[in-house]
């Protein structure tokens, strides 16, 4: 008989990084759901022995009942044994196999959502698989034409119009169609996943001082403003374009429920300064729920027991909240 509790899939990420260490701390959480870690059973058992020796492994099965002090593991085999802190391109496909299993489970309804530990983009690419990040991979795997990356933490929600692009390519990438679709996704998920009846969105300009009336760039005049005006006519509450250097002051932030930044390093440094180690990365627009930690693989901490699970705990909590909404 299936368990009455919803199941969250936790992908253990890069096996040489701190992902398995963070997963070993999950039994500390008192959750209204089952947490199931996806990864190589022997590798996770070895890491648990090193960092959380009191935790016991329970092999995943659909009808399992959670047990105190246990970590439920869905076994996905490594290609080659791993040493903490030492990357191995031979395991690149393994990392993606773990993600693929979580995606299949979320789409079938086996899992209520997925929470991802950090992966190492470079070593996956070195393994022969072009990979620019979880966000883009999940979009392709679910057939989603556009997703939106948003980080939550420090009392802020910051979404991005563009993600992992060189700065020189950002202006050309910000088109009217992209901004329109991005804002519609952000507005819909703030309403449907976060329970905000009438979301207020603060939109950053691209240029210093939001273009200074065209003297420091015309993107605000030619692209951003026309989009905001059209979507306001549809009933969206959009403020901006606002100068990014003053958008993040408390007086302005309290007027919105989320910020849309134009590029990665415009919005995320502020949020991470306020919340690093406790922030959450959310992928909006997917047909499934996905949250993630806000940090990388921290190879130097792998297997030491010094990794802070705060961001993973926050990502689990937010995924639970989104599933309930």
Q: What would the pLDDT profile of 240-275 be if each residue is shown by its tens digit?
A: 999 999 999 999 999 999 999 999 999 999 999 998
Q: What is the pLDDT of residues 2-19, one digit of tens each?
A: 446 899 999 999 999 999
> What is the per-residue pLDDT for 242?
97
Distance between CA atoms of residues 91 and 124, nearest Å:
8
Express each pLDDT in 18-50 by its tens digit.
999 999 999 999 889 999 999 999 999 999 998
Give the β-pairing of 200-204 and 258-261: parallel
Mean pLDDT, residues 65-72? 88
Specify the higher pLDDT residue, 96 or 69.
96
Tokens 């976060």, located at residue: 194
What does the pLDDT look like over 190-234, one tens digit per residue?
999 999 999 999 999 999 999 899 999 999 999 999 999 999 999
Nearest to 10 by CA among 176, 25, 232: 25
* pLDDT tens digits, 148-173: 999 999 999 999 999 888 999 999 99
Are 93 and 40 in contact by the 8 Å Cβ rule? The answer is no
Q: At what angle do helices 92-108 and 134-141 cross, to 10 degrees?
A: 50
Domains assigned to the chain: 1-144+287-325 (3.40.718.10), 147-285 (3.40.718.10)
CB 111 within 8 A of CB 105: yes
Going through 130-234 in order, the beta strands assigned E by DSSP cover 148-153, 156-160, 200-204
Name the pairing type of β-strands 237-242 and 258-261. unpaired
Pairing verdict, β 56-59 and 34-39: unpaired
* 145 has a pLDDT exceeding 80: yes
Residue 1 pLDDT grade (very low, low, confident, very high; cuts 50, 70, 90): very low
- Residue 290's closest CA among 136, 133, 113? 113
- Give the confidence band of 276 by pLDDT, cuts at 50, 70, 90: confident
To the nearest whole number, what is the mean pLDDT of the chain?
Answer: 94
Q: Are 149 and 268 in contact (CB under 8 A)?
A: no
Give, in order, the Cα–Cα distances in Å from 33 to each of 292, 311, 320: 17, 18, 8
pTM score above 0.85 = yes
Per-residue pLDDT at 2: 47
Q: What is the DSSP letter of 187?
A: H
Question: For residues 35 and 229, what is the distance between their CA atoms, to the nearest angstrom?
Answer: 44
The C-alpha atoms of residue 7 and residue 62 are separated, in whole angstroms, by 9
Helix (H, G, I), strand (E, B) or coil at 71: strand
* Distance in angstroms (rounded) separating the CA atoms of residues 223 and 147: 20
CA distance 256 to 238: 9
**Does 174 sit behind a cis peptide bond, omega within 30 degrees of 0 on the bond before it?**
no
């Amino acid at each position: 008989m299936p368990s009455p509790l919803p199941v969250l899939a936790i992908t253990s990420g890069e096996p040489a990084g701190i992902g398995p260490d963070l997963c070993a701390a999950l039994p500390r959480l008192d959750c209204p759901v089952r947490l199931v870690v996806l990864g190589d059973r022997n590798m996770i058992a070895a890491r648990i022995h090193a960092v959380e020796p009191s935790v016991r492994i329970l092999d995943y099965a659909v009808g399992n009942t959670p047990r105190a002090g246990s970590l439920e593991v869905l076994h996905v085999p490594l290609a080659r044994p791993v040493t903490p802190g030492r990357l191995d391109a031979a395991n690149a496909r393994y990392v993606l196999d773990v993600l693929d299993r979580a995606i299949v489970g979320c789409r079938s309804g086996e899992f209520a959502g997925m929470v991802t530990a950090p992966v190492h983009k470079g070593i996956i690419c070195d393994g022969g698989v072009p990979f620019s990040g979880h966000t883009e991979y999940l979009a392709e795997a679910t057939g989603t034409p556009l997703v939106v990356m948003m980080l939550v933490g420090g009392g802020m929600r910051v979404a991005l119009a563009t993600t992992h692009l060189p700065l020189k390519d950002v202006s050309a990438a910000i088109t009217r169609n992209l901004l329109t679709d991005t804002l519609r996704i952000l507005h819909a998920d703030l309403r449907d996943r976060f329970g905000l009846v009438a979301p207020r969105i603060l939109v950053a300009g691209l240029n210093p001082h939001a273009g200074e009336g065209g003297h420091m760039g015309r993107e605000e005049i030619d692209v951003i403003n026309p989009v905001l005006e059209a979507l306001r006519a549809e009933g969206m509450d959009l403020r901006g374009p606002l100068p990014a250097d003053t958008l993040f002051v408390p007086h302005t932030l309290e007027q919105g429920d989320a910020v849309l930044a134009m590029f990665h390093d415009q919005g995320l440094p502020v949020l991470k300064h306020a919340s690093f180690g406790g922030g959450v990365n959310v992928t909006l627009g997917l047909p499934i729920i996905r949250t993630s930690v806000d940090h990388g693989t921290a190879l130097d901490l792998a297997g030491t027991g010094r990794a802070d699970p705060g961001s993973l705990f926050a990502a689990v909590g937010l995924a639970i909240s989104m599933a309930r909404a």
